[in-house]
Amino acid sequence: MVIYIALLLIAVVFTILAFTLSEVEHDDLKFICSLIATILAASLIIVTIIVVMNHATIDASFAGYHQRYNILLHQAKNGMYNNDNEYGKRDLVKEIERWNCDLARRRELSKNPLTNIFYPGDYYEFDFIPLELIK
């Protein structure tokens, strides 16, 4: 949210500067202010699209996260990784490590005031999967 507000304020300031300078004979400075205001306006449009897409699809994303968590937990608890070689165990450990790292990253990004607008939802409803379940 902080990024969004900062971009908006900077765009407004440069737009006001560009209009103020249009009354004076500073064509180069007017052009630079207009260019910066245009770039910031395009950035705001892109940020708005990203935020809308992230918030519009959060229910589907959380449903996928719940499914992934349940599958990994079920495999770990029921020993579904056991086979003749250790490849199943290794793959499950990699998947669980990826889950735990992804969850930790999303939790931190959703708390950070600079990035929380891009990571909606409460990732604290998910738990880490302990590797101790795999023996």
Q: Which has the closest alpha carbon to 115: 46, 51, 49, 40?
A: 51
Which residue type occupies 25?
E
pLDDT of residue 63: 92
pLDDT in tens, 11-65: 888 777 777 766 666 777 777 877 888 888 888 888 889 888 888 888 888 999 9
pLDDT in tens, 51-107: 888 888 888 889 999 999 999 999 888 877 777 677 888 888 899 999 999 999 999
Question: Exposed (0-12), middle (13-18) or buried (19+): which is 76, by Cβ within 10 Å?
Answer: buried
**Is-contact 97 132, C-beta < 8 A?**
no
- Model pTM score: 0.71
